[in-house]
A = this chain, B = another copy of it.
Amino acid sequence: MEVLKEMFQHQIPSVSDTELSDFLSLWTIKRQLKRHEYLYGRGREQQHLYFIQKGAFKIFHETEDLKELIVGFGYKHTLLLDLPSFVTGLSSIYRIQALRQSTLIGIHQRDFYSFMEKCPPLATYWRQQIELALLSRLEREIDILIDSPQKRYERVLQRSPILFQEIPHKFIAAYLRMTPETLSRLKRF
């Protein structure tokens, strides 16, 4: 809770102390997930926003033939949510699975949105977050369109070195649109 408070203090400096306390009091959902556990069932809507206190997650789309297309990860001390489901309220196209034992605290979308209405700094913050998410997705589109596995690897390694410390490389390989064998060979140089 303390870390979450610091994060918001840092990212939304214009929010007052009392507002922040009120806001944090809405983060009532506590969850503990074991390795391999899913954050929610297949195809359910997922209208929670979580903060990862401990652990790591993979976010992926499951194709009809049960292949996993990994679209992102969640690490310690960052927010975790099913963005399309959170925004639209529709059932999710993603699954989110714990990569190791993890603890989360969360807030429901309706509580978040209703607090946003009476707290303009939070509204501004959230609008910026959506814009940033869009921009980062445009960068990622370039990442995965590049032909050469070598270049894809270099680009992401440069931008997100943390990834390679936090996440098993076989998942990073899928994220980079290659096999673990290919990634392993690239790392040699």
Contacts and interface: CB of A to CB of B under 8 A. Distances in A.
B141 A140 contact: yes
Contacts of A131: 87, 130
A184 interface: no
A81 to B, nearest CB: 13
A168 to B, nearest CB: 18
Interface string A38-71: 0000000000000000000000010100010101
Interface residues on A, range: 20 to 34
Given A130-B131, A134-B130, A134-B133, A145 B71 contact: yes
Nearest to A145: B69
Task: Count the copies.
Answer: 2
Contact of A134 (B63, B69, B137, B145): B137
Given A134-B130, A146-B63, A141 B87 contact: no
B130 A93 contact: no
Interface of A: 61, 63, 67, 69, 71, 83-84, 87-88, 93, 127, 130-131, 133-135, 137-142, 144-147, 177
